[in-house]
């Protein structure tokens, strides 16, 4: 019931879904242009800054023997709760994503350096702060970005790039982002923070 409500209505009167997922990361996978390669050893991370959602994720994942990711069946061989997240400090922090960040403006996917990228990212962060009842970040700056990446999710393209940003925000909001992610489509595996 919680999953259906979250999917259909969002959270707390907002359409956003405060859940982050990192697409599967495989150790030792051979790189091949245009192909997402795998290996027998990989990990997927799930998170939420909302305790009710985080506990539902833990319960659901602990009971699974496999996860279906697109057309791939991933066998669950272990499960752990990450408790060694560095404590956030007030003021300027650097955050880097492990997966591409998706940002849109007027139906167009934006990349770091594009006009409106920072503005739309700031809007997304302010919206996330509102959903969580936390103060909005005071500033945002892109320090570095990776190459353009294109994925197809349920037949629709998602275009983005990994980023490293400097963010001036309250520690509670930084900690929330570490379990939610940056940008849009975090529930689809985008914007996961390392």
Spans of all domains in the chain: 2-75, 91-188
Lowest-confidence region among 31-45, 118-132, 180-194: 31-45
Q: Quote the pLDDT of residue 154.
A: 80
**51-90: per-residue pLDDT in tens?**
888 888 888 888 889 988 877 788 888 888 776 666 667 7
Q: What pTM value is reported for the model?
A: 0.85
What is the mean pLDDT of the segment spanning 153-175? 92
Q: Quote the pLDDT of residue 28.
A: 82
List Cα–Cα distances, 15 to 9, 23, 29, 130, 189, in angstroms. 6, 22, 36, 12, 17
Of 58 and 184, more confident? 184
The architecture that CATH gives domain 91-188 is 2-Layer Sandwich (3.30)
List Cα–Cα distances, 63 to 23, 28, 40, 123, 191, in angstroms. 20, 27, 21, 37, 26
């Amino acid at each position: 019931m919680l999953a259906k409500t979250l999917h259909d209505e969002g959270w707390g009167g907002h359409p956003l879904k405060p859940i982050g997922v990192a697409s599967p990361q495989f150790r030792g996978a051979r790189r091949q242009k245009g192909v997402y390669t795998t290996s027998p050893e990989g990990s997927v991370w799930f998170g939420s800054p909302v305790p009710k959602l985080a506990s539902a994720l833990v319960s659901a994942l602990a009971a699974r023997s496999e996860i279906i990711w697109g057309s791939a069946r991933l066998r669950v061989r272990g499960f752990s709760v990450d408790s060694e997240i560095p404590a956030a400090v007030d003021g300027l922090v650097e955050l880097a994503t492990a997966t591409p960040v998706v940002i849109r403006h007027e139906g167009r996917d934006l990349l770091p350096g594009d006009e409106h990228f920072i503005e739309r990212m700031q809007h997304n962060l302010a919206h996330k702060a509102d959903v969580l009842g936390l103060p909005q970040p005071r500033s945002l700056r892109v320090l570095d970005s990776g190459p353009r990446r294109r994925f197809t999710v349920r037949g629709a393209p998602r275009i983005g790039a990994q980023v490293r940003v400097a963010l001036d925000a309250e520690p509670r909001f930084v900690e929330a982002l570490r379990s939610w992610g940056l940008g849009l489509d975090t529930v689809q595996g985008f914007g996961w923070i390392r």
